[in-house]
Structure formats: structure tokens, C-alpha cells
Amino acid sequence: MRPTALITGASRGLGAAIARELAPTHDLLLGGRSSDSLAPIVAELPGATPWPVDVTDYDAVADAVAGIDSLNVLVHNAGVADIGTIADSSVEQWRYNLEGNVIAVAELTRLLLPALRTANGHVVLINSGAGLRANPGWGPYAASKFALRAFGDALRLEEPSLRVTSVHPGRIDTDMQRALIADEGRDYNPDEFLTPQSVAQAVRNAIETPRDAHPVEIVVRPIAR
């Protein structure tokens, strides 16, 4: 029987790239906000199953995980980014970042712990360089990513039967990145950024690491051009 992997935020960008990397070896549950958004990647990967749910709708999440009894891999790729200075930030902005990047991750993981324990599973947290260093204008987002790193550290110690890997990529060429660059008032140059495929391969390598090793933290940076 093939192992099963659930990937959130799998409809496009990095999540879709991770799905493509794992498809040859895993049965996939592909998470996204709607069936329509997931349709292209599900059609591309025969045998993949759509898992349409808003991960911040916790009643819907509880219903969606009810039938998952064993889970080998959980990749938390879904996330949000609303940047701005602390002086100009709002309570809503802080809540938005923390809800999407930490609370939703914690609750989905909590609900799936029995399934992950059954499989001695692997939790992969797609974090950010902002989870290692906070830059000016990125306070609310960086705070959420620092919190995500702390969540991973605690989970790793509390659940010794699981492997927990925090992945800290540099900036990736995605639609989200285009929006962030626009917020920063700069021209977009994709050559400045990592490709989703490069980061997805790092995720796959972590998952394929033999069980006698625990890939705790992976940092991936674009090569300076």
C-alpha cells in the first residue's frame, strides 16, 4: 500500500509543485479552498483526491478529517501574507496573519494527530526566511512565521513518534510573490527568486530521508545573480 500525503494550498504555486514531486510515490489528498480551484492539478495528477476546505473554518476542517485514519505525510503549505509596518498595522492584519499561518496549522495538526501517530508520520511546515529573521515592514507576517517555527519545535518534542520538518525557503516565484512585490512598489523580476520546483524537491528529499534520520530544519536560498 502506498503512503498517503495531505498537502494544503495545493491548487497552485509551491503546493502544486510539491504535489507533482510526491505523486509518483504517494496517494495524494490535495487541499484547497474549492473544488474548482483544485480541478486543474487533480486532472494533471491521476489518482489524486481533492480535499476542498477552508482551513480557517474549523467545523469544516473537523468534518473533512473525520475519515482519515492513517496519514504518512502532512504538508502545511497554505498560508497568507499581509505585510506592513508596525506603526501602520491593524488588529485585523495581525489576526489575519496569525490565523492563516499558525492557528489553522495547529488545529489541523491537532485533529490529525491520531492518524499521524498510526503511521509514524511526517509533518512538514512550509515556513519562510521571515521565520528566522524579521525585516522592517514585515512585522505581522514575520511574527506569525516565528510562531510557526515554535509550534514545530514544540510538536517535535511532544510527539517523538513523528518527524517534524520546518522548511525556510527564500522568496519564491509565485502569484503571492508578485502581490508582495507590488505592495513593496518594485518591478517584478522572476530571476531573483527560487522556483517552486526547487523548493518542492527539497521537501521531497526531506520526506524521503531514511527513518534513522530526522530532518529538523531546511533553509533554501536563491543563488545570487
Whether the per-residue pLDDT at 175 is higher than 70: the answer is no
Give every CB contact of residue 43 below 8 A, 6+ residues apart in sequence.
Answer: none
Average pLDDT over residues 58-86: 97
Q: Is residue 138 part of a domain?
A: yes
Q: Is residue 203 part of a domain?
A: yes
Q: Is residue 176 part of a domain?
A: yes
Number of H helices, E strands in the chain: 8, 7
**200: phi then psi, degrees, rounded to nearest 5:** -60, -35
**207: phi then psi, degrees, rounded to nearest 5:** -65, -35
Q: Is residue 77 part of a domain?
A: yes
Whether the per-residue pLDDT at 178 is higher than 80: the answer is no
Following CA atoms 173, 179, 180, 183 in sequence, which dihedral angle do they give, to the nearest 10 degrees?
150
Copy the grid coordinates of residue 28: 495524494
pLDDT tens profile 97-119: 999 999 999 999 999 999 999 99
Q: How many domains does the chain have?
A: 1
Q: Is residue 201 part of a domain?
A: yes
pLDDT tens profile 115-159: 999 999 999 999 999 999 999 999 999 999 999 999 999 999 999
Whether the per-residue pLDDT at 52 is higher than 90: the answer is yes
Helix (H, G, I), strand (E, B) or coil at 193: coil
CATH of the domain at 30: 3.40.50.720
Q: Is residue 224 part of a domain?
A: no
Average pLDDT over residues 26-42: 97
- The C-alpha atoms of residue 101 and residue 186 are separated, in whole angstroms, by 25
Output the pLDDT for position 224: 65
Query: What is the value of pTM for the model shown?
Result: 0.93
Task: Write out the E strands in the chain.
Answer: 4-7, 27-32, 49-52, 73-76, 122-126, 163-169, 217-220
Question: Which among 55, 44, 10, 14 has a CA at the least distance from the CA of 29?
Answer: 10
Q: Is residue 225 part of a domain?
A: no
Answer yes or no: are the C-beta atoms of 177 and 128 closer than 8 Å: no
Domain interval for residue 61: 4-219
Q: How confident is the model at residue 209 (pLDDT cuts 50, 70, 90)?
A: very high
Q: Is residue 181 part of a domain?
A: yes
